[in-house]
Structure formats: C-alpha cells, structure tokens
Amino acid sequence: MTAIITASELAAGLAGDNPPVLLDVRWQLSVAKAAGAPAFDGRAEYAAGHLPGAVFVDLDRELASAPGARGRHPLPDLAEFGAAMRRAGVSAGRPVVVYDGGQGWAAARAWWLLRWTGHPDVRVLDGGLPSWTGELSTDVPAPAEGDFTPVPAAAGLLDADRAAALARTGVLLDARAGERYRGEVEPIDRVGGHIPGAVSAPTTENVGPDGRFLPAAELRDRFKALGVSGDTEVGVYCGSGVSAAHEALALAVAGIPAALYVGSWSEWSADPARPVAVGADPQ
C-alpha cells in the first residue's frame, strides 16, 4: 500500500467491492483576518461541490484542539477525534481516501492522524480536488456510523524536547518557507527563525508544478541531499503541524519513516526560554 492515490485509481476503487470512505478536508493557512479580509471557508467550498459521497472534515475543530500553549493546531482530543471519524463513516476495515483543495497540507494532516492512531489503510488523493476529472456533487451524505477507535502509536510523535534532541542526533526538517526558517519574515508567530540544528526543507519542493508529488526516487534524492540516509532518524516540523504532515507524507512516499513535532514553531517560539537560530545555517 502506498500513501497516495491517483484520481484514476480512486475512480476504480470507488467502483469496486469495498469503496473507500472519502474525507474532504479543504483548509488554507490564512492571515486574511489580520488584513480585514474574510478567512477561507472550507465548508462553503465543500457545499459548492465535492467528490460524490465525501464527508467534510473541519481541520480546526476535528483534527486539532483549540490553539494555546501547545501551538496553533495541537493534537485533538482523541475521543473527540474518534467520534468525528466514526460520524464520517470511518471504520478499521474500510480504506480511507482524504483530499483537499490541492495544496495537500490539510489532507496530509488527516492522513497522519489516522495512521498515527492506527488506521491501516489511508491514502491522500495526489493533486487533490483539481486532479479529479469526474463529476462533483452538492449532496451531503449521511454515512452509516463507523467503528474506528483511535489508538495512538508509541512512536511517530515528537514534543519540543525530543525535537531539539533529534536536531542534534538525527535530522530535523523544517517544512516552512525558507524566509521563515531564516527569520527574515514571520507573519504569524511571536518570533522568526528555527530550532537550532534543524535543516530547511520547504514542503513546496516535494511537489511538481501540478501540485502532485515528485516520483519516489526524486524524493529520496532530495532528502538524501538534506542529510537523510539509511538508518537516519528523521523528524519534521513547520508552523503548527500541518505542512509538516505533508512533509511526513512525502517522506512516506519515498519510503522513509518520520516523526512529527505537532506543536512545531508555534509552540516552540511561544516560550522565550527556548533558543532560536536565524539565518541559513542550521545552528
């Protein structure tokens, strides 16, 4: 099983004997509110047209808990997450396909959460909704209750201290834009810069112009150039644990396991006692 699925593969799966549950997780990181513009409304986008049978999942409310000291998108309460997934029809014995508007970040967050909590068969639609050439629907489905119960894995999750240690002993990848890593701009969090020792690895460089992932061999070469080799322990972080999930997905496509620091820079930078590095040098 791979971590991603093409639109043609999805169409074939939907016509099969055990069609996947479809989750629509359209979401965008937006600073529009600060400029007085309306924020992106994923639910409205879903209502205007979605894959037939897809259920909308709200990233801010169902894939994260309220912002606070643990970051802007901390882990959701697992009981509430499980209830949301069951309402969407998610069961352990049925595959799940997640998609978003094409950026892939939100879909990857849902993919990571479901995989980390034990679902055995979750994939992301490569290229998101723009890759789908079939008809869209405005009908809101009422799926039968699923049976999925989240059981988090012992591995795969980093806190601030473990992320700091991994930056010294393995490879900690920073999935944000290079200018935020270097501390040249910081539109959201308290201060710019990066975790000392982390390597800049913008998640935008994992995909081609069409928004689809680069071939696995090219991704392996990219991560090798960033210091990931053989038995290297790898971790990823971003601003709030969303685009870093996309980086973790790219690593999975390349066959490389990685742990996610969900609190990410929004948690790290909120504590003035934690060190901050700036510039292109990891240290």
- What is the C-alpha end-to-end distance of the chain, expressed in Å? 38
Q: How many whole angstroms separate alpha carbon 76 and alpha carbon 62?
A: 7
Q: Could you tell me which of 192, 195, 170, 182 has the C-alpha nearest to residue 258? A: 170
Catalytic residue among 4, 198, 234, 238: 238
Q: Judge whether 238 counts as a catalytic residue.
A: yes
If DSSP codes are grouped into helix, strand and coil, which group holds residue 55? strand
Residues 6 or more apart in contact with residue 254 via CB below 8 angstroms? 216, 219, 220, 222, 223
Which stretch of DSSP H or E encloses residue 157? strand 157-158
Helical residues (DSSP H) of 65-192, grouped into ranges? 78-87, 105-116, 160-169, 178-181
Q: How many whole angstroms separate alpha carbon 230 and alpha carbon 224?
A: 9
φ, ψ for residue 172, nearest 5 deg: -110, 115
Could you tell me how many helices (H) and strands (E) the chain has, helices first?
10, 10
φ, ψ for residue 173, nearest 5 deg: -95, 135
If DSSP codes are grouped into helix, strand and coil, which group holds residue 133? coil
Which residues are known to be catalytic? 238
